[in-house]
Structure 1
Amino acid sequence: MVVMRSYETDSAVGNKIEPWLKTPFDLLAFGPRAGMGALLSMPEKLSTLQTDVTRALELLQDPRPLEEKQQVVLKEVESTLVEFLEKGATVEGEVLANVKTLLPPEAANVLNELIPEPPNKQHQGMDGNVVPVEPMDVATPPPTYYQADVLGNQVASEMTEIKNAVTGLKTALDAVRTNADAAATNILRLNLKEARDQLARRVAEVSPVTESDPSIAAATREARILLEEVDSSFFP
């Protein structure tokens, strides 16, 4: 998922990456997580390549000092890297969850102790430490993923993507409306267009199988209203 980037002046470069480097396991998993996330994001990045090139050219022509433009680029890279880490960690979590269901409870708890939850996943335990694993009958066969489970996961995934894109577009819209720096206007408008296109893609990518779900229907309705507002005001 691409989250809209906003560059607050009081946000230091590295703040977003720091939570992903807290433990020895985080250091070992950093490369694989980022690599997996980059692989999953490749189709999306290819689709936004033209916009990214345009934004880069606009930045080169921006009259702001070189040091300030360098900070913009570094924050852009940092945001993209965090996006890759989040996607990679999500896949990692799904794989580990499936592995744990096949292990004895003691072994599953050892994994919980050795592998901390990534920053983008909240702890489910009451004390925020090890998530207990319910005892499993050794004779119980591996779980089967039925159609309802797959559909539920797809609905949850699409809801997350749409909500993130809506948040990104609202952030970009607020930035354009409150901007008082003429030098930043072009970049903010490009950010707005990128966020607008991102949300439009998310809505268009909703599966025919899930579009009748009430939560998906409500989310896409909100998204289309926001898109109409942005289009009528900035892209008639």
Structure 2
Amino acid sequence: MMLTHSSSRLSASNQLSSRRAAVVVRASSSFPGGKVEQWLKTPFDIASFGPRATLGALLSMPEKLESLQADMERITTLVQDPRPVEEKQQLVLQEVEDQLVTFLERGATIESDILANLKVLLPPDVTKQLDELIPPPPNSKPAMPEIEVEEPTIIYTADAVLESQIASEMTEIKVAVEGVKVALEELRANSDTTRAGMLKLNLKEARDILARRLQETAPGTAPAGTSSDASLSAATREATVLLDEVDAQFFR
């Protein structure tokens, strides 16, 4: 009988421990800071945290200046949002964390490039010491085995350069079109009135990016009558129709 009582207490204790563990897991995955934590695992990561973030911020400065107006509108919308202050604070912390991680990733990428160029000039033993001292950053990918492939000779003719420019413009337009479609679908499917303002702002940002891509596409880039001309015209036409639809429904 005492054995049964002890087993019951042990079972209850295990259940309580399991529930506590589940709560801790859920909290650690949702609470801001989890993404930054992986950048603070080694002594070198801690020492290089500030320089990496600063370098990434400097590299992102032109992009952030371009989106400054949209960021201010986003902040204004969030301030006017009727949700509880705690929930809005959580959103702000998550956004700050995402931006900080972006800075860290960009700074670490430049750091890795500099180290790679430096190692070419150093003796093998010094290179080995650097590898032992400086661990790869969290955003680094595992090194793939090198496969020697004979690269074909590339001749940069005027037509090849033109084709490359057209392909780049078409890709940018298609990516921007997809961004507008995703933002439009999220806004149309939304049933939460408290999120409507934020989703509409997201749609406006995506719409403005697509409009800029169309403005930057030089008319008559591809020779008339060619397949490239037809493909670029079709992509531009699809983007224009989508812009007119969005403007007529939400911004007029």
Classify the TM-score, shorter chain: 0.5 to 0.7
Alpha-carbon offset, residue 184 of structure 1: 0.4
Distance 1:228 1:30, change over 3 A: farther
Per-residue CA deviations over 1:125-157 (Å, capped at 9, x if unaligned) read 57xxxxx9xxxxxxxxxxxxxxx9xxxxxx9xx
Q: How is 1:32-181 mapped onto 2 (pairs within 5 angstroms)?
A: 32-124=51-143, 172-173=183-184, 175-181=186-192
Q: Distance in 1 between matches of 2:211 and 2:125?
A: 46
Q: Distance in 2 between matches of 1:166 and 1:30?
A: 36
Aligned match for 1:29, one of 28, 35, 48: 48
Alignment check: 8 A CA contact 1:166 1:223 kept: no
Distance 1:234 1:200, change over 3 A: closer
Alpha-carbon offset, residue 232 of structure 1: 4.2
Per-residue CA deviations over 1:163-189 (Å, capped at 9, x if unaligned) read 997886676455434322111011122
Alpha-carbon offset, residue 106 of structure 1: 2.1
Q: Distance in 2 between matches of 1:180 and 1:60?
A: 20
Residue 13 of structure 1 aligns to a residue in which SS? coil
Residue type of the alignment partner of 2:195: A
Alpha-carbon offset, residue 195 of structure 1: 4.2
Number of residue equivalences: 189
Per-residue CA deviations over 1:16-44 (Å, capped at 9, x if unaligned) read 21221221111111100110111111111
Alpha-carbon offset, residue 12 of structure 1: 2.9
> Which ranges of structure 2 fall in alignment gaps of 5 or more residues?
1-28, 147-155, 157-164, 223-231
- What TM-score, normalized to structure 2? 0.60
Alpha-carbon offset, residue 230 of structure 1: 5.5
Which segment drifts farther, 110-119 or 95-104? 110-119
Aligned match for 1:188, one of 161, 175, 199: 199
Q: Distance in 1 between matches of 2:39 and 2:234?
A: 32
Alpha-carbon offset, residue 92 of structure 1: 0.7
Alignment check: 8 A CA contact 1:14 1:78 kept: yes
Query: Match for residue 235 of structure 1?
Result: 247
Q: Distance in 2 between matches of 1:93 and 1:99?
A: 10
Q: Distance in 2 between matches of 1:165 and 1:27?
A: 37
Give the structure, 1 or 2, with the largest relative contact order (CA under 8 Å, sep 6 or more): 1
Q: Distance in 1 between matches of 2:45 and 2:210?
A: 31
Alignment check: 8 A CA contact 2:211 2:243 kept: no
Distance 1:51 1:19, change over 3 A: same
Distance 1:165 1:69, change over 3 A: farther
Alignment check: 8 A CA contact 1:199 1:223 kept: no
Q: Distance in 1 between matches of 2:129 and 2:177?
A: 39
Residue type of the alignment partner of 1:55: R
The structure where helix makes up a greater share of residues is: 2
